[in-house]
Amino acid sequence: MSWKVSIEATAFNTGQFPPESVPEIAIAGRSNVGKSSLINAILNSRLAHVGATPGKTRSINFYLVNAGAVSFRLVDLPGYGYAERSKTERKGWSKLTSSYVESRGSLILICHLADFRHGLLPNDRLLQEWLSGHGKPFMVLFTKADKISKGKRLSMLHQYVEDGLNSIDVPIVTSCEERSGIEKARAFMENFVRRGA
C-alpha cells in the first residue's frame, strides 16, 4: 500500500507542536544511528536530512502519513547521546523531548532505533527507563544490519532478545543500504495504528 506523506511541522518548542488529531508514532535513537535514513526509507521520501551534523537537529519533525484506511503522524525526535554536545544542548534535548512525550495523548508508540552491531547501549537503556515512566510502549528497530553478515543475523537477534529488551514485539532488523526490513516496519506501523493500540 502506498503512503501519501507530507511534513506538517518542525518544532523547536512546545508551542510549535501541531494540534493533536491523528495517532502519533515517535522515532527515537542516538545521533548517527541511521534515523533520518530509515525515516526516509519508510516514508519513501527525502524529507529527513541524512548525515546532518550530529547534535544539530534539535527540532521535533512531524510527518503526516495517509496510508489509505488510516492516517497517522511519524514524529522524528532529535537524536541523543552525542558525546560532544554541551550541557545546555543536552538540557534542551531532554526538555523538548520530555514535554512532547509527557503531554502527548495521541502518542501511541515509541520506535526505538539501535545499531544492530551494538544492540542497546547504556544511554539507550537510560532513555527507555526515563521515557517508560510515561507509560508509552516501545518497539525496537535495529538499523544498519548490512554491517553484519546475513548468516549471523538471526542468532544475533535471538541473543539481543534473550539479553532483555523493552520492546512490545520481536525487534525488526532493517538496513537502508539493502532496503531490507523497510516493508516490515511500514506494515508494523500501519497495523499498530489500525488496531488502535
- Residue numbers at the binding site for ligand GDP (CB under 6 A): 29, 31-37, 50-51, 79, 143-144, 146-147, 175-177
Q: Is 139 helix (H, G, I), strand (E, B) or coil?
A: strand
- Please give the grid coordinates belonging to residue 161: 532478545
59: which DSSP letter?
S
Residue located via cell numbers 539481543: 160
- Please give the grid coordinates belonging to residue 107: 502518542
Between residues 29 and 171, which has the closer beta carbon with respect to ligand GDP? 29
Between residues 31 and 167, which has the closer beta carbon with respect to ligand GDP? 31
What contacts 19, CB < 8 A, 6 or more positions away? none
The least distance separating ligand GDP from the CB of residue 68, rounded to whole angstroms, comes to 27
Between residues 23 and 29, which has the closer beta carbon with respect to ligand GDP? 29
Between residues 70 and 173, which has the closer beta carbon with respect to ligand GDP? 173
**CA–CA separation, 55 and 72 (whole Å):** 27
Q: How would you classify the pairing of strands 4-11 and 60-66?
A: antiparallel
